[in-house]
Chains A and B, each alone.
Chain A
Amino acid sequence: AQTVTQSQPEMSVQEAETVTLSCTYDTSESNYYLFWYKQPPSRQMILVIRQEAYKQQNATENRFSVNFQKAAKSFSLKISDSQLGDTAMYFCAFAVNTGGFKTIFGAGTRLFVKA
């Protein structure tokens, strides 16, 4: 079975500080992609960052970076210089081919950025 676990239901961070959201996953597949999606309040879900399982180098997108530990099946998201607009629900997800490409989402972490 493929599972994604986000153990932090809610987090808060002060504006301009750094926060790390954790994610672990379980799969027996060797080829997969990992994603972090952001769902702001009452707004559409958007991709934050993605990581190919075969790549050792951690992905970065501006203030967002990941710490991908394949052996530990861990995929955490670091947000640097947090901004008020980062307040959102963050979903860790992975895509795998199980007779069709499907994306499995974790339960989410609600992040509040405080002024």
Chain B
Amino acid sequence: DTEVTQTPKHLVMGMTNKKSLKCEQHMGHRAMYWYKQKAKKPPELMFVYSYEKLSINESVPSRFSPECPNSSLLNLHLHALQPEDSALYLCASSQAGGLADEQYFGPGTRLTVT
């Protein structure tokens, strides 16, 4: 199984809502990533988890809260988002988070904040 799955596929939320994005992989990978991608732009790294510990936080606002409950799961908790947070949120995983690692991407969650 070389698949990264993400749920939900689409999410519309108001600025006062709390929601979560979920990501799952069963490849035995020990590094997982959250990226934000605006239309026609490259993915921007948000967070990296390595061996279930947060190793990189790219100065992301606290309204985004990542969680890695185990090595197969990655969540992104959302609270009090702004309309400019509307984007495609991509999850990825890699074997160990090393320089040479190929990242396997999920299909993304398209988030709209109203």
Contacts and interface: CB of A to CB of B under 8 A. Distances in A.
B50 A47 contact: no
Given A44-B106, A45-B90, A45-B105, A103 B42 contact: no
B48 interface: yes
B103 to A, nearest CB: 7
B42 A46 contact: no
B24 to A, nearest CB: 14
Interface residues of B, number: 25
A46 B56 CA distance: 22
Interface string B32-53: 0000000011111100101000
A103 B103 contact: yes
B45 A102 contact: yes
A31 interface: yes
A39 to B, nearest CB: 8
B48 A102 contact: yes
Contacts of B99: 31-33, 95-97, 101
A100 interface: yes
Contacts of A106: 42
A103 B100 contact: no
A62 to B, nearest CB: 16
Contacts of A104: 45
Given A101-B48, A103-B45, A47 B56 contact: no
Contacts of B102: 35, 47, 50
Contacts of B90: 45
Contact of B105 (A46, A95, A100, A107): A46
